[in-house]
Amino acid sequence: MFDFSIVTHWIHNLLTSLMPDDLAVFIECLAIGICILLTYAIIAIIMIFMERKVCAAFQCRLGPMRVGPWGTIQVFADVFKMLIKEIIAIRHADKFLYNLAPYLVILASIMAFSCLPFNKGMAVLDFNVGIFFLMAASSIGIVGILLAGWSSNNKYSLIGAMRSGAQMISYELSVGLSLLTMIVFTDTMQFSEIVERQADGWFIFKGHIPAFIAFVIYLIAGNAEVNRGPFDLPEAESELTAGYHTEYSGMHFGLFYVAEFVNLFIIAGVAATIFLGGWMPLHIPGLEGFNTVMDYIPGFIWFFGKAFFVVWILMWFKWTFPRLRIDQILTLEWKYLVPIGLCNLLLMVIIVVFKLHF
């Protein structure tokens, strides 16, 4: 498995040999920031196109086909349209908070996105408390959504924001319990360490029943966390027009739209990292030839393949199940997922203490 830290160390040594250390670090930070934004934008474009095609497949349609081959240029046309659209100022809105809200949402999304380890030595933020940081950073997005609904001076936006806030805060508990279950199993919160410990087997296979239960709970709660169907009641078109971003137009609406899709990828990327081995290839004990061939596939191919597989599963959820009512959404969380998550956490603790794992 190729270690990209070799490349980053070589670039750092080259820059420090040509210029002062402070300037070299500044250029490195600037380059990393540009790479994150470019990757973020590319992932958003891929996710939007994938959503349209997957939705069309489940509804026995073709999806976008006219703009470019197989409709591949349609997303770029929509992005260009969004960039040139006018941002309409709302007369009685709280202008400062109204303009601040979409940037808080996109900031939280980019910070969480920066925690994903795409390959060995290819993680931007690889803290020893990486999972804790990701949970804290992603929580900022809730503040942006609540501000968007309240500052718009629109009753539908406010109702959508309150629904979204209640839903996201509730389901964060189940997401946290699922991740805490795996932290107990791995004894670390650092993403790179979690991936390294799956070199001899992905946790979804060697983590016993609690790991699988945590994976299922994480998928359900993560789907609700990003307001995706069937948990998309905060954006119920038949009731609330467009939910908390009803009064937003132009690129302000575009920021909400892009953040929603990339947040879905972040949920899938964390699932791929913690449960499915991250950049680690698939190894089957006893099949050395097969394992050798798998090792030749680059780590980032494994990571994106697993992440987009989880994305496809979550899109399958959205376009299969009907939308839930708000009482059903909260009942599912507080009466079912939280108790199951707590019992699952206790079971994992017992397995680790008595060394019952593989």
Does residue 17 fall inside a structural domain? no
Rounded-to-integer distance, Cα 46 and Cα 216, Å: 25
Does residue 47 fall inside a structural domain? no
Does residue 96 fall inside a structural domain? yes
For residue 1, what pLDDT band results from cuts at 50, 70 and 90? Answer: low
Does residue 22 fall inside a structural domain? no
Does residue 281 fall inside a structural domain? yes
Q: What is the pLDDT of residues 18-39, one digit of tens each?
A: 888 889 889 999 999 999 999 9
Q: What is the pLDDT of residues 79-120, one digit of tens each?
A: 888 888 888 888 888 889 999 999 999 999 999 999 999 988
Across residues 143-151, what is the average pLDDT? Answer: 90
Tell me which of 49-53, 181-185, 243-247 is least confident.
243-247
pLDDT at 310 over 80: yes
What crossing angle do the helices spanning 95-113 and 21-58 adopt, rounded to 10°? Answer: 90
State CA 121 to chain mean position distance.
Answer: 20
What crossing angle do the helices spanning 95-113 and 250-274 adopt, rounded to 10°? Answer: 30
Among residues of the chain, what percentage have pLDDT more than 70?
A: 97
221: containing domain = 89-353
For residue 12, what pLDDT band results from cuts at 50, 70 and 90? Answer: confident
Q: What is the pLDDT of residues 276-291, one digit of tens each?
A: 988 888 888 778 888 8
For residue 45, what pLDDT band results from cuts at 50, 70 and 90? Answer: very high
Query: What DSSP element (H or E) covers 80?
Result: helix 74-84
Name the pTM for this structure. 0.92
Query: With contact defined as beta carbons under 8 Å apart, do 231 and 329 qualify?
Result: yes
Which of 266 and 240 is assigned the larger pLDDT?
Answer: 266
Rounded-to-integer distance, Cα 250 and Cα 258, Å: 12
Does residue 94 fall inside a structural domain? yes
What crossing angle do the helices spanning 250-274 and 74-84 adopt, rounded to 10°? Answer: 130
Does residue 28 fall inside a structural domain? no
How much is the pLDDT for 43?
94
Rounded-to-integer distance, Cα 28 and Cα 35, Å: 10
Residues in the chain: 358
How much is the pLDDT for 342?
95
Across residues 258-285, what is the average pLDDT? Answer: 91
How much is the pLDDT for 236?
64
Does residue 5 fall inside a structural domain? no
How much is the pLDDT for 292?
86
| CB proximity list for 320: less than 8 A, separation 6 or greater | 58
Number of domains making up the chain: 1
